[in-house]
Amino acid sequence: MSRPRRSAPSRGRRPRPKASKGESYVGRRFEVEVGPVAHGGHFVARVPVGEDSRVVFVRHALPGEQVVVEITDGSAGDRFWRGDAVSVLSAAPERVVPPCPYAGPGLCGGCDFQHVSLPAQRELKATVLREQLVRLGGLSAADPLVADLVVEAVPGDVDGLRWRTRQRYATAPGGGRGMRRFRSHDVIPVDDCLIATDDAREPGAGTVAETVEVDGVEHSFEVAADGFWQVHPGAPAALVSAVMSALAPAPGESVLDLYAGVGLFSAFLGDAVGPSGRVVAVEGDPTASALSVGNVPSAEVIAGDVGTVLGRLEDGPFDLVVLDPPREGARRAVVEAVVARSPHKVAYVACDPAALARDVAIFAEHGYRLRTLRAFDLFPMTHHVEAVALLAKTDVRTTAPDRRRPEAAPR
């Protein structure tokens, strides 16, 4: 788990320059009724344009609300526009006052859902995950894995705040620290980021130590200070617990840990399969891979692009596979290389609902079906959600998801 491209969410996103497509609508305002949530922290609305209408992806809104939307990106020739709900004419019951004074139209772009109650935030994330699994993954909306999906709270935040253990700031005008506006280079001065812990560190040189305990078993990991590690303090244990529950590894089994980072899953999987088993950890980031050698000395560590390594790995079948790909997902070449190893079970750790759904559809082409699915709120106040899916080719024994109350979940 050492891939910086999987960090959530980027503060300095740089949109591509757009070619002019006719008259600009930026700054114009329309009164609209807000429709459903869309992937990416937006809500869908339509505004009239002559005898036609245009889809607008609106931030800072909620389904069913009547709002005044100001167009922030869009011209006459664009298929869709972007906008902010700058005035709420009729509020949804789930709307709350944002706890952060820097959250809102034209302000910090880091949080999408500060105006939404925490239970409603999680339901919005579940709605997006369900929609992607149906639309891109080919699942039925009536499938209990889809219909009954919930996004679970994870211990370690304070009512959705104070969970980012690492934080990168931009330099504000005048030299202070700040955050960028949404899809902009502009920096908003910020005295206190409420989703950051009081002792959140900025990425730097060297390494830091991280400790994870699951079911009474503890492992320590050396991690690059500027490398990837889950920023929510409860995330590593929650994800390890979900993966171990899904795979139920047994002594003597062989495990392929792909996109293994610094060895988080490999360490606990190694305990489970024991000295008679085998864990092979593949990671493309050379620093993370080198660190995993010391973090998990019992694993066979291979540094290199996952697709390339799988293509030249001459070993036979593996019993179990863990896939923890970057935001774009594993994609067809890697999925098919995994399938070629004939694993009984595949645990897929996903940070993007659309990428997960696309890969689930590719697995299905090869007879691997979704057996269990859990989702976790590792990034409260944002639209991001993490999921752990179990895929299996036959009706193998699976462990039921842990439905304990959040306060009793692994810490």
Q: Which residues have a catalytic role annotated?
A: 351
> Could you tell me where the DSSP H helices lie in 171-234?
none
Antiparallel, parallel or unpaired: β 345-350 and 386-392: antiparallel
Q: What is the dihedral of CA 320, 325, 331, 336, to 10 degrees?
A: -20
Kindly list the distances between the CA atom of residue 330 and the CA atoms of 32, 102, 281, 354, 359, in Å, as whole numbers in the listed order: 38, 35, 16, 12, 7
Torsion sign over Cα 361, 366, 372, 378: negative
Q: List, in sequence order, the alpha helices (H) in 227-285.
A: 235-247, 264-273
Sign of torsion, CA 179 181 182 185? Answer: negative
Say if residues 386 and 350 touch (Cβ distance below 8 Å).
yes
Dihedral angle of Cα 255, 259, 264, 268, to the nearest 10 degrees: -10
Task: Return the structure tokens found at 33.
Answer: 């009724």
Virtual CA dihedral for 317, 229, 408, 123, nearest 10 degrees?
-90
Angstrom distance (rounded) from CA 380 to CA 41: 12
Residue 194, SS3? coil
Question: How far apart, in whole angstroms, are the C-alpha atoms of residue 252 and residue 277?
Answer: 4
Residues in the chain: 411
